[in-house]
């Protein structure tokens, strides 16, 4: 049974707003992913908060709390150290990695979960340089990358004796040459939501004899990623955005199977040793994905993530992508129809092939506007100096949420003209 259309505020645009509200209700009623919202701790009431910040922190899946309660009270509280074996704690990084693998287009045995995204970027980038020949003296990095990726790329260049060159993401493939060892690129730009050409860039890097490392933080879980099919060498990603693993949830590292025998981690640890309990003074790396491990696994956060991944049971990433594009199309339409002209201009591409799962709007006083949006029940975020960011998580975001966000934004900006 469809939900009643949300009430549209009175005003000169009431007819337009009402039409959009009615369409939102129809789209929600027909949405095949709509039942998934009940898997999250979200309010469905008429005055429920509109949460459009899942590209920063995903909502809490309902399965997490019972799992953590059992982990703490039974596995830790009763079984104690026996849980490393009896509860499967020891193999959690690879086991949960294999659950993430289908979401990034990887076969089992190539993804390991643990550490932060930043640490995994460092491991992947330095290891990629070590995989390259010594005459490859250059590292390329996306010029608009998330700052930490840039910081780590600079540090990796210093540590490995390479030079670092920043180029626009769309130019990385063309700029790669005989000196390029590896390029680090973001699949989706965190500011604008622009989706970059993972397949084409990877192919161009390989044609130049270089390796490709991709940061999937703003794409995995929102759209199809095909690491195996597209030939990606190494990749990293966080799990607290579209994978809903919780604040500070451990990140993951993908190492293509053909590279695993030569994957030389700059952070060898006892957990990635071939015989971790042998306590040998010399290091012998484990086989396969466990080479990406370092120290003791973060069990509580790992198992919270494991439970969070239950929401993906029976869900096709292609359906998630279809809804993502429909949601962002509808939001852009609502913004164009309702927001005063010139007050909030989209910087996110209109073309589907170039759009991730967020919409960014250039707006003067973005910080103050976003603060007022939150006061009025719409949660997004901003990036200096003038970007409003709205993340659309298809597993739980509704078309009605998109309409309400645009309408509230219009009301704020109408009052500041």
List 39, 136, 162, 241, catalytic entry: 241
List 40, 51, 190, 240, catalytic entry: 240
pLDDT of residue 416: 56
Query: What residues does each domain of the chain span?
Result: 14-60+316-414, 64-312
How far apart CA 138 and CA 129 sit, in angstroms, is: 9
Residue 362 is a catalytic residue:
no
Instruction: Check if 14-60+316-414 and 64-312 are the same fold.
Output: no
Q: Considering the chain, what is the average pLDDT of its residues?
A: 95
pLDDT of residue 47: 84
pLDDT of residue 14: 86
Sheet arrangement for strand 345-346 = 345-346, 358-362, 387-391, 381-383
List Cα–Cα distances, 273 to 270, 294, 384, in angstroms.
Answer: 5, 9, 43
User: Over the stretch 2-20, which tens digit does the pLDDT of each residue have?
Assistant: 444 444 444 447 899 999 9
pLDDT of residue 334: 97
Residue 392 is a catalytic residue:
no
β-bridge pairing 211-215 and 180-186: parallel
pLDDT of residue 152: 98
Residue 146 is a catalytic residue:
yes
Residue 215 is a catalytic residue:
yes
User: Over the stretch 140-196, which tens digit does the pLDDT of each residue have?
Assistant: 999 999 999 999 999 999 999 999 999 999 999 999 999 999 999 999 999 999 999
Tokens representing 194 are 């622009």
pTM listed for this prediction: 0.94
As its CATH architecture, domain 14-60+316-414 has Alpha-Beta Complex (3.90)
CATH class label, 64-312: alpha beta
Tokens representing 270 are 């006892």
Neighbours of 222 (CB within 10 A): 29
List 40, 51, 146, 330, catalytic entry: 146
* Residue whose C-alpha is closest to residue 239's, from 100, 412, 374: 100
User: Over the stretch 294-304, which tens digit does the pLDDT of each residue have?
Assistant: 999 999 999 99
* Residue whose C-alpha is closest to residue 297's, from 121, 87, 153: 87
Q: How far is CA 246 from the centre of its chain?
A: 12
List 123, 136, 291, 389, catalytic entry: 389
How far apart CA 16 and CA 333 sit, in angstroms, is: 11
User: Over the stretch 255-292, which tens digit does the pLDDT of each residue have?
Assistant: 999 999 999 999 999 999 999 999 999 999 999 999 99
Residue 38 is a catalytic residue:
no
List 53, 149, 197, 215, catalytic entry: 215
Instruction: Decide: 53 and 391 in contact? Cβ < 8 Å.
Output: yes
How far apart CA 284 and CA 409 sit, in angstroms, is: 57
Q: What percent of the chain clears pLDDT 70, i.e. is strictly above it?
A: 97
The torsion angles phi and psi of 340, rounded to 5 degrees, stand at -55, 135
How far apart CA 217 and CA 201 sit, in angstroms, is: 18
User: Over the stretch 340-349, which tens digit does the pLDDT of each residue have?
Assistant: 988 999 999 9
Look at the block and give the residue holding tokens 């540090």. 155
């Amino acid at each position: 049974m469809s939900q009643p259309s949300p009430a549209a505020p009175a005003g000169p645009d009431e007819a337009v707003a009402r039409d959009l509200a009615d369409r939102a209700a129809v789209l929600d009623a027909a949405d095949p992913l709509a039942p998934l919202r009940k898997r999250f701790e979200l309010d469905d009431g008429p005055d429920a908060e509109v949460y459009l910040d899942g590209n920063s922190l995903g909502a809490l899946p309902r399965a997490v709390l019972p799992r953590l309660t059992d982990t703490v009270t039974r596995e830790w509280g009763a079984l104690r150290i026996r849980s490393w074996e009896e509860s499967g704690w020891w193999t959690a990084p690879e086991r949960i990695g294999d659950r993430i693998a289908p979401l990034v287009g990887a076969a089992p045995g190539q993804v390991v979960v643990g550490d932060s995204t930043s640490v995994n970027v460092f491991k992947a980038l330095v290891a990629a340089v070590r995989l390259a020949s010594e005459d490859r003296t250059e590292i390329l990095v996306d010029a608009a990358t998330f700052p930490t990726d840039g910081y780590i790329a600079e540090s990796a260049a210093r540590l490995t004796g390479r030079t670092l060159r920043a180029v626009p993401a769309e130019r990385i493939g063309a700029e790669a040459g005989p000196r390029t060892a590896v390029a680090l690129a973001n699949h989706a730009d965190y500011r604008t939501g622009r989706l970059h050409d993972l397949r084409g860039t990877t192919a161009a890097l390989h044609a130049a004899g270089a390796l490709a490392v991709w940061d999937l933080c703003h794409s995995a879980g929102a759209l199809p990623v095909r690491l195996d099919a597209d030939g990606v060498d190494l990749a990293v990603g966080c799990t607290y955005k579209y994978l809903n693993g919780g604040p500070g949830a451990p990140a993951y590292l993908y190492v293509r199977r053909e590279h695993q025998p030569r994957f030389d981690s700059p952070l060898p640890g006892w957990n990635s040793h071939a015989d971790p309990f042998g306590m040998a003074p010399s290091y012998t790396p484990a086989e396969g994905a466990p080479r990406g491990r370092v120290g003791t696994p973060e069990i509580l956060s790992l198992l919270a993530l494991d439970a969070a991944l239950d929401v993906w049971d029976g869900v096709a990433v292609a359906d998630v992508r279809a809804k993502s594009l429909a949601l962002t199309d509808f939001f852009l339409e609502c913004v164009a129809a309702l927001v005063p002209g010139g007050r909030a201009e989209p910087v996110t591409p209109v073309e589907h092939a170039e759009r991730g799962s967020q919409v960014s709007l250039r707006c003067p006083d973005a910080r103050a506007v976003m603060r007022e949006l939150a006061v009025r029940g719409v949660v997004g975020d901003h990036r200096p100096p003038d970007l409003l960011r709205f993340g659309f998580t298809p597993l739980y975001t509704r078309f009605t949420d998109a309409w309400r966000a645009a309408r509230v934004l219009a009301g704020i900006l109408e009052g500041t003209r």
